[in-house]
Amino acid sequence: MTSSEDSPPGPPPTAGAGHADADADADAGQGDADGAAGQGDAAADAGRAIDAVWRIESARLIAGLARIVRDVGLAEELAQDALVAALEQWPHSGVPRNPGAWLMATAKHRAVDSLRRKDVLRRKIDELGHRLTVEGEGAGTGSELDEALDRMEDDIGDDLLRLVFTACHPVLSTEARVALTLRLLGGLTTKEIARAFLTPESTVAQRIVRAKRTLADAKVPFEVPKGDELAVRLASVLEVLYLIFNEGYAATTGDDWMRPALCAEALRLGRVLAELAPGEPEVHGLVALMEIQASRTGARTGPSGEPVLLLDQDRGHWDHVLIRRGLAALERAERAAAEPATGSEPATGSGGAPDVGPDVGPDEGAGGPPRPPGPYRLQAGIAACHARARTAQETDWVRIAALYAALARVVPSPVVELNRAVALSMAFGPAAGLALVDELVSEPVLKDYHLLPSVRGDLLAKLGRHAEAYAELSRAAGLTRNERERALLLARAEASAAAARGGAVPGGG
Amino acid sequence: MRFMVLVRADERSEAGVLPAEDMTDAMDRYNDELVRAGVLLAGEGLRPSTEGARVTFSGGRATVTEGPFAEAGELIAGYWLIEVSSKAEAVQWATRIPFEDGAVELRRVFDATDHPAGTVLPGTAGKERTPREERPRNAPQA
């Protein structure tokens, strides 16, 4: 049974009033302040309900339609048409008992109309002796079409997965992938996406239109790739989700709710993806990473909005629901990695298991060697070390250093090395960290990166080399673009200078 | 934003009567739907108040009363914690619960991850550096 049909939600509808009352009651029960009853309220309620239903249903509506019409652009139009029909009808007729099914039925009808029109057109053209390729080919005629429509509500999960892979297809630019993912899977409007990325609405609209055209022109198949291709494409999907997350995380607070909402959206999509692709360790790794990072949101800024660094954060303000979920997702990642890949390749194409020590990675490896951790699992592992420590002092820096070493092998980068240097210094003392930092000094990528001299200055100060520390911290202060940070760095540089003077005068200070 | 969907207890839940099998199946499907939509954060059913206790405070003194408690309709029998983008969305999800009768109540959860409603005052919080930039200093992190 479809539960919502057999057991009506809410109070039974009274005669004539239809189901709109049930919804209106639900809203009124929440204590809506503007109690001026009447048509306006009912319309507003219906409007809110339609927004909410759209958010819940749009992705699978589009995904299901795209499988039939083989064109995400057309599928989105058909779904939008159904939405417009809802906007016209629901304020009068009331929100139907099963709004998702209503939208699906309406969209199906439009799909049939659209395909039949094309079919008629094709036949006419054939009669005239021409040939025409129609996107809906294969599902285009008579009973075949009906069968395809009947199957529409099965395999919804598969359809969604296809939609994810299509929206994140490499023929599209990164910006286009991000916009299309938010649009097709998140149900966000062009306006909302524009606000979130601080981009003009027309730019985003252009991007989306062009992306859909590119997909159609390139005849990108609506499918989940197989074999080697899957690993590459999955990496693109994960990258898009993490980009969306970071865009929101970089601006956790602020006047515009849309940007922080991106974090929540990326998390939601990540959780959906984890359900769709439960056998992919990196997917769970990314979800774990995002859950744990998001858990710190409430502790990342101080009372006057100043950023609070990880080790200085009040861990009581971390969100323990999200931490628990993140740690659970990481466990799922490790379990998935321990299982032999079922008909698909590992998510990370990197060869060779990174040597991360005996306690990193899954404990049991029943059936074949576990898949080596990829970048998201490793970063989630690092985040988990912080999340598990009740105080900053309890942090397992040895493990973090090992995870950074593995990360440096999977995705080599000077920034990762710099992180590893910090972890090494925390685990084995400032000298161990400094040795690595000194190797990075000549790294061109880090030439103007203020955190390099900042870290180096820190380590030098800890080693008592105050004069050098002063020079490095001053340099860092000159490089940062953040005023608060500059002030902090200058204060620390000054402290080093004072210590240097103190050290130079025997018996002084 | 987060909402807690609170399920009110009734005589049957207070008597420890488990729902019929088809109801359990329907609830499983509903829960799956919440999970697949990425909105379910947590959810639990509660055992009858017989197995609980109530602690009341008066003049700074705590008094413990063992369950059961009489006012079934005001007790909580379970909850879902969901993360949604609006109250309307939470309401939409709640209307999909396959209950035959009974009541649920929606309450918004204080949450520092949504709007600056929690510990940070609105408008006072400044922009923060990206995690990537935040990483290296004395705070290595993912």
HEC secondary structure over A420-458: HHHHHHHHHCHHHHHHHHHHHCCCHHHCCCCHHHHHHHH
Residue A47 to residue A450: CA distance in whole angstroms: 49
A75-89, A216-230, A338-352: the lowest-pLDDT one:
A338-352
Report the share of chain A in percent with pLDDT over 90.
Answer: 55
CB contact (8 A) between residue B123 and residue A255: yes
Give the confidence band of B134 by pLDDT, cuts at 50, 70, 90.
very low
Which residues does chain B have within 8 Å of residue A451's beta carbon, measured at their own beta carbons?
A: 133, 135-137
Instruction: Please classify residue A402 by burial: count the beta carbons closer than 10 Å to its beta carbon, then call 0-12 exposed, 13-18 middle and 19+ buried.
Output: buried
The Cβ-side half-sphere exposure at A361, using a 13 Å CA radius, reads: 21
| B113 touching chain A per CB within 8 A | yes
Furthest-apart CA atoms within chain A: distance in Å:
105
Pair A175, A204: CB distance under 8 Å: no
Residue A433 to residue A428: CA distance in whole angstroms: 8
| DSSP state letter for B110 | P
Facing A386 at nearest CB: one of B30, B93, B141: B141
Pair A212, A72: CB distance under 8 Å: yes
* Mean of all residue pLDDT scores within chain B: 81
CB contact (8 A) between residue A293 and residue B131: yes
Facing B125 at nearest CB: one of A249, A305, A325: A305
* Mean of all residue pLDDT scores within chain A: 81
ω before B68 within 30° of 0 (cis)? Answer: yes
Residue B47 to residue A58: CA distance in whole angstroms: 37
Q: Which of A245, A310, A397, A445 to mutate to test the interface with B (most CBs of B within 10 A)?
A: A310
| A304 touching chain B per CB within 8 A | yes
Pair B134, A450: CB distance under 8 Å: no
Which residues does chain B have within 8 Å of residue A485's beta carbon, measured at their own beta carbons?
A: 129
The dihedral of CA A323, A242, B33, B83: what is its sign? positive
Q: Between B112 and A268, where is the model more confident?
A: A268
Helix (H), strand (E) at residue B82: strand B76-83
Instruction: Tell me the residues of chain A between 11 and 30 that have a Cβ less than 8 Å away from chain B.
Output: 22-23, 26-27, 30
CB contact (8 A) between residue A422 and residue B140: yes
Measured at the CA of A108, the angle between CA A106 and CA A109, to 5 degrees, comes to 65
Strand partners, B54: B65
| B61 touching chain A per CB within 8 A | no
Residue A415 to residue B136: CA distance in whole angstroms: 7
Pair A112, A36: CB distance under 8 Å: no
B141 is written with which tokens?
A: 């992190």
Pair A455, A467: CB distance under 8 Å: no
| B139 touching chain A per CB within 8 A | yes
- One DSSP character per residue, B85-105 reads SSHHHHHHHHHTS--SS--EE
Residue A293 to residue A261: CA distance in whole angstroms: 14
First to last CA, chain B: 24
| DSSP state letter for A279 | T
CB contact (8 A) between residue B137 and residue A294: no
Max mean pLDDT range (A69-83, A84-98, A394-408, B10-24):
A394-408
Give B77-128 pLDDT, tens digit per residue.
Answer: 999 999 999 999 999 999 999 998 889 999 999 865 444 433 433 333 333 3
Which residues does chain A have within 8 Å of residue B133's beta carbon, measured at their own beta carbons?
A: 451
Give A200-248 pLDDT, tens digit per residue.
Answer: 999 999 999 999 999 999 999 998 998 888 888 999 999 999 999 998 8
A280 is written with which tokens?
A: 């992919």
Which residues does chain A have within 8 Å of residue B114's beta carbon, measured at their own beta carbons?
A: 257, 260-261, 264
Facing A250 at nearest CB: one of B94, B96, B128: B128
Measured at the CA of B71, the angle between CA B67 and CA B74, to 5 degrees, comes to 105
Measured at the CA of B2, the angle between CA B41 and CA A329, to 5 degrees, comes to 25
Give the confidence band of A367 by pLDDT, cuts at 50, 70, 90.
low
Which residues does chain B have within 8 Å of residue A53's beta carbon, measured at their own beta carbons?
A: 92
CB contact (8 A) between residue A1 and residue B26: yes
> Which of A110, A4, A94 has its CA nearest to residue A61?
A110
Which residues does chain B have within 8 Å of residue A299's beta carbon, measured at their own beta carbons?
A: 112
pLDDT at B112: 59
pTM: 0.80
| ipTM of predicted assembly, 2 dp | 0.78
pLDDT at A125: 59
Give A172-204 pLDDT, tens digit per residue.
Answer: 999 999 999 999 999 999 999 998 888 999 999
Measured at the CA of A407, the angle between CA A406 and CA A409, to 5 degrees, comes to 65
- Alpha helices in A369-429, H assignment, sequence order: 375-388, 397-410, 414-428
C-alpha dist (Å) from residue B7 to B78, B80, B89 = 5, 8, 18
